[in-house]
Amino acid sequence: MDTIQLTFDGKEVTGKKGQTILEVARDNGIDIPYLCYHPRISKTGACRICLVRVNDTALKPSCTEPAANGMKIDTEDEEIRELRRSILGMLLAEGDHNCLYCEWNGECELQRLCHRYDVPEPTGEFPKREREVDTVSSNGLRRNENRCILCGRCVKACSEIQMNSVWEFTGRGSATTLTSDMFDRIGDSSCVKCGTCVQLCPTGALSFQTVLGRGQSWELQKESSICIYCGVGCKIDFYTNKEGVLVKAMGNEQGPNEGHLCVKGRFGFDFVQSDKRLTKPLIKKNGKFEEAEWDEALGLVASKLSEIKSATGPDSIMAFSSAKCTNEENYLMQKFMRAVIGTNNVDHCARL
């Protein structure tokens, strides 16, 4: 592969031909701030936060500018800091960014950057356009577009990752807004509630119904796990609050899912802490289920299966496995049926 050499703030680094400046920087642990860029979606180049100085002269958006051999990059100087501060100030003035009332307080990329660049509070002298607030139409997603910076990540998350194309920009210029489908409310749209847009949203404009009032971001504890719903094996970060209540599921970017989840992985975790959940085997005695120990339960199943097999033959038994099981578990199930029971009657539920 063709490699290129360039310097970032005087530091020599190696990149691959065809990469953008930002990609080389990220690969080499060099910090350049950005808002509209996200590694999972195509490039936009619209927020202008990632401007860097190239070869001591031109300011270029590092997210779209191809890196070239011998380039000298300055990731920040006084002028760039000022520009970033101005742009962030514009964003604050354009929307309604009151972190006190925002469920993403503490996790917001805009908030972090405004802090980093010491952006003054907006003066309120410029008129704002009221945009849509819809917290009720969908039982999965909440939308408060007054917190939206129109970066377009949700639009691309939906069309490029989930391939569903629910979100789109409409209007133009300062009157630009988001729309879901044909000016519909998100709950009335073709949204499948995969939540990918929320996961990529850099602010609190898009959020989950499960989050609000259940603890603030810095109080939550993260635990990584594998989704139990299908064989893809999506890696999920589960967040629990101080009371131990599961608050949200976020796709882990290191997993095979690269951060993406479907509606089941995203929202299907309420059963975990449900009091209706079975935690012990039950055996029906005198028409009523009674709690039992594993040894007793398994012994009962084994003896019943042997009974049936000797009475009416192995083909009178069938096993129905689950897509929720791993490949290994499913393999064991069919092996058990074929080798131990002696039948080919194996099937699975194919979907959930």
Partner 1 sequence: MKPEKISKTIEKYGNDREHLMLILRDLEVQSGKNVLDVQTLRSVAEQMNMPQGAVAGFVGFYTMFKTEPRARFVIRVCKSGPCHVMGSTNVFDVIQKHLGIGIGEGTKDGLFFLEKCECLGVCSVAPAMMINYDIHGNLTPKRIVSILNSYKKKKPTLKEDCGKEVDGKACVINDPKQMKRLIADVGVVDPLKIESYMARGGYEALKKSLKMEPAQIVQTVKDSGLRGRGGAGFPAGVKWTFVTKGPHQKYVVCNADEGEPGTFKDRILMEENPHLLLEGMAVCGYAIDASLGYIYIRGEYRRSIERLQRAIDQARQKGILGKNIFGSKFNFDVLIKEGGGAYVCGEETSLINSMEGKRGYPRFKPPFPGGAGFNGLPSNVNNVETLMSVPMIIGKGADWYKAVGPQNCSGTKLYCLSGKLNRTGLVELPMGSTLKEIINVYGKGMAKGKKFKFAQVGGSAGGILGKDLMDLPLDIDSPMKKGVTLGSGVVLVCDEGTCAVDFLMQILSFFEHESCGQCVPCRVGTAQLHALVKKIAERRGTEQDIDALVEKATVMKKASFCALGQSPIMPITTMLKYFRKEFVAHCNPKHKCPQCDKSLARYYSGRGH
Binding residues vs partner 1 (CB under 8 A): 43-48, 51, 59, 61, 64, 66, 79, 83, 86-87, 90-91, 93-94, 125-127, 149-150, 152, 159, 165-176, 179-184, 189-190
Alpha-carbon span 52 to 8, nearest angstrom: 10
How far is residue 308's CA from residue 300's CA, in Å, rounded to a whole number? 12
In the complex, least distance from residue 144 CB atom to partner 1, rounded to whole angstroms: 19
Phi and psi of 165, rounded to 5°?
A: 50, 45
Of 65 and 103, CB closest to partner 1: 65
Specify the length of the chain in residues: 352
- Of 110 and 262, nearer to partner 1 (C-beta) is 110
What's the min distance (Å) between Cβ of 255 and partner 1?
28
Paired tokens of 104: 């993403």
What is residue 251's three-state secondary structure? strand
Q: Which residues pair with residue 240 across a beta bridge?
A: 221, 246
CA distance 123 to 89: 10
Q: Which is nearer to partner 1, 179 or 322 (CB)?
A: 179
Q: CB 179 → partner 1: shortest distance, Å? A: 5
79, 84, 86, 87 alpha-carbon torsion, rounded to 10°? 140
The phi and psi torsions of 203 (rounded to 5 degrees) equal -125, -165
Shortest distance, CB of residue 18 to partner 1, whole angstroms?
12
Nearer to partner 1 among residue 135 and residue 176 (C-beta): 176
Q: Nearer to partner 1 by C-beta: 169 or 331?
A: 169
* Separation between Cα atoms, residue 195 and residue 184, nearest integer Å: 17
Beta carbon nearer to partner 1, 150 or 220: 150
The token pair at 10 is 């005087």
Output the smallest distance, CB 45 to partner 1, in A: 4
For residues 47 and 297, what is the distance between their CA atoms, to the nearest angstrom?
61
Give CA–CA dist 186/132, Å, rounded: 11
Nearer to partner 1, 88 or 341 (CB): 88
Q: Which is nearer to partner 1, 169 or 289 (CB)?
A: 169
**295 DSSP assignment:** H
> Minimum Å distance from CB 230 to partner 1?
26
d(CA 38, CA 161): 12
- Six-digit token string for 72: 């000298």
Q: How far is CA 286 from CA 128, 283, 293, 308, in A?
A: 70, 10, 18, 21
